[in-house]
A = this chain, B = another copy of it.
Amino acid sequence: MEIKLAKSYGFCFGVKRAIEIAEDSKNAITMGPLIHNGEEIKRLQENFSVRTAHDMSEIGDEKRVIIRTHGITKEDLATLKASGKEIIDATCPFVTKPQDIVKEMSEQKYKIIIFGDANHPEVRGVRSYAKNGALVVLSVEELESEILGPKVALVSQTTRKISEFQKIVAYLVQHVSEVRVFNTICNATFENQDAVLDVAKESDVVVVIGGKNSSNTKQLLTIAKAHCADSYLVENETDLSAAWFEGKKVCGISAGASTPDWIIEKVIAKIREFSI
């Protein structure tokens, strides 16, 4: 069986940057999991004593706090600053951008709409910068019952699909006089998405490697499945099943933006074992 890597996969700029920051911040604690990848977080804890607080109360007396790639809320940041802790900001610059936009646009009295998952930490953080609240939606249907007003500013969670974002834009353009559209979808996400589509078309089985709670990994799986029905999501090599590869000729590989290369390598090695 041939193994074909997608042209673009795995870690994005923001994640690579966050890991470097964490490796340089031995013994610090991160507010929220640094990235959406349990394996990498474990490695940082074991090799660099970088631990994870799951909420503000778990930070306790720690003096050095790393802000996760997805960012935190404005209020939590203010609390940390007020407590005099050293703040090491690993927020992805592509996430800081929608935070800044939302702050600026809400000051300019635009109604803020965020295209994304209201429960995702990135979106919770971005939303917290809206002075008078923000509407968070995943579909046009959710907009239909809302009074939108004449001026709307729209941002997107960085890991969303552009085609879905476009549907929100189209609805708003039809119903609002001025729509200020900020395409804050990350290029890395585009690149991995385009690449998994290409590789899925040429494969009869696809393995997407990444966290099962990572939205960008799940998007990759959705795209892969649309072009290759036998597509699977694994967090590491132990999730693989030999049966997936029986009789297959080409196995496509992609990985979410938070998946480190060393996990991808282990998964590929295991797939090779199956296909011998």
Contact = CB atoms under 8 A, between A and B. Distances in A.
A178 B170 CA distance: 15
A180 B177 CA distance: 10
B181 A162 contact: no
A173 B166 contact: yes
Contacts of A179: 180-181, 183
Contact of A181 (B165, B166, B180): B180
Interface string A157-174: 000001001100110111
A182 interface: yes
Contact of A178 (B162, B174, B178, B182): B182
Contacts of A166: 170, 173-174
A181 B178 contact: yes
Contacts of A181: 169, 172-173, 178-181
Q: Among A162, A173, A174, find the residue whose CB has the most chain B CB atoms closer than 10 A.
A: A173
Contact of A182 (B169, B174, B177, B183): B177
A109 to B, nearest CB: 15
Contacts of A182: 177-178
B183 A177 contact: yes
Contact of A180 (B162, B169, B180): B180
A176 interface: yes
Contacts of A180: 178-181
Interface string A167-208: 001101110111111110000000000000000000000000
Nearest to A177: B183
Given A169-B173, A178-B183, 15 more contacts: A162-B173, A166-B173, A166-B174, A169-B169, A169-B170, A170-B170, A172-B181, A173-B183, A174-B183, A178-B180, A178-B181, A178-B182, A179-B181, A180-B181, A181-B181
28 contacts: A162-B173, A162-B174, A165-B173, A166-B170, A166-B173, A166-B174, A169-B169, A169-B170, A169-B173, A169-B181, A170-B170, A172-B181, A173-B181, A173-B183, A174-B183, A176-B183, A177-B182, A177-B183, A178-B180, A178-B181, A178-B182, A178-B183, A179-B180, A179-B181, A179-B183, A180-B180, A180-B181, A181-B181
